[in-house]
Structures are given as structure tokens and as C-alpha cells.
Amino acid sequence: MNSKYALGAVVAALPLLVVAQEKKEESGKESRTAYLRRAYEKDRGTYGDACRAILSLAAGEHTDADFAAVQKDLAGRGIVDPDWGLAESDKLTKGTLAYMVVKTLGIKGGVTMSLFGTTRRYALRECVYLRLMSEGATDEYVTGRELIDIVTNAEIYRERKP
């Protein structure tokens, strides 16, 4: 009975903790909580949103660096292809996000990916197989909510990976 009330108190206190964290980081920089909330509420996720979320996943910490620095860091890690030529405001597709997730998590894939390399199409198939993403086409747009859900699934996958 007591644990039930304790859990209720923790759940009730969560919004207060979020507000406290946001107030702590009012130094002109966007906090991770504010970034996640902003990205979550978008009808369409952007390439810039994905780059920041994936870099946070890869580095293990939130960054509010400018887009050029984030993209350069991801390209250096081999997570994005610098030849894509995508702008920060470009709409995010499932194929692009799947490619970034596969590269970040170091997923080797099946026979097809082993033979032909990682492409957006094969990365999406692998992410669907691993239940990191829902099925769809590589050029299907991703909502902000889907972006956050996929990054959360990727984080859980990384923690559980042997």
C-alpha cells in the first residue's frame, strides 16, 4: 500500500522536476527537456531535429550546438552521409532516420546489408525487424512524436544490447 502512494508522489512530482530543470538552464541555451518537448509537438520532424537527437544518443549528452557543427560531428562519426546535402529545415523521412539509427547503434543487419552495405531502404527494414520503427516507405515523413519514440526505442535497444 505504501509503495503505491510513493509511486503516486513520484509521478506527481515529475512536472515539478521538469520545470526546475528548465529554470536551471535558462542561460540562453535550450535545455534537453525544452528541445524534446518542441520536437515532440511538431507535425513533421526535420533533419535538424533528427541530427540533434541522434547526436545526443551517440554522445550520451544533449547538445545545443549550431546545426553545422552537429552535422559535421555526425559525418565524422559516419552516422550521416555528407553528400546528402540536406538542410536543417528539410522534412525528415523514415529512411534517413533509420540510416542514422542503424549507424549510431552499430547494427550490422542481415545478409542483404552485409552484401550491399547500409542504405536507407535496408536500414528501415532492419529497424522495423528490430521493432525500433513502424513499417513504412523510406520517403515517408516522420512526425516529431515518431522521432522521439524512435530515439527512445534506440536508447532502450542500446541499453539491452548484449
Can you spell out the DSSP letters for 57-96?
A: HHHSS-----HHHHHHHHHHTTSS-GGG---TTSBPBHHH
12 band by pLDDT with thresholds 50, 70 and 90: very low
8 band by pLDDT with thresholds 50, 70 and 90: very low
Pseudo-torsion of CA 67, 131, 31, 9, nearest 10°? 180
4 band by pLDDT with thresholds 50, 70 and 90: very low
Residue 155: exposure state from Cβ atoms within 10 A (0-12, 13-18, ≥19): middle
Q: Give domain limits for the chain.
A: 42-160
Instruction: List beta partners, residue 91.
Output: 46
Task: Give per-residue pLDDT as tens, 41-84.
Answer: 888 999 999 999 999 999 888 877 889 999 999 999 999 988 88
Rounded to an integer, the average pLDDT of 132-146 is 95
Instruction: List beta partners, residue 93.
Output: 141
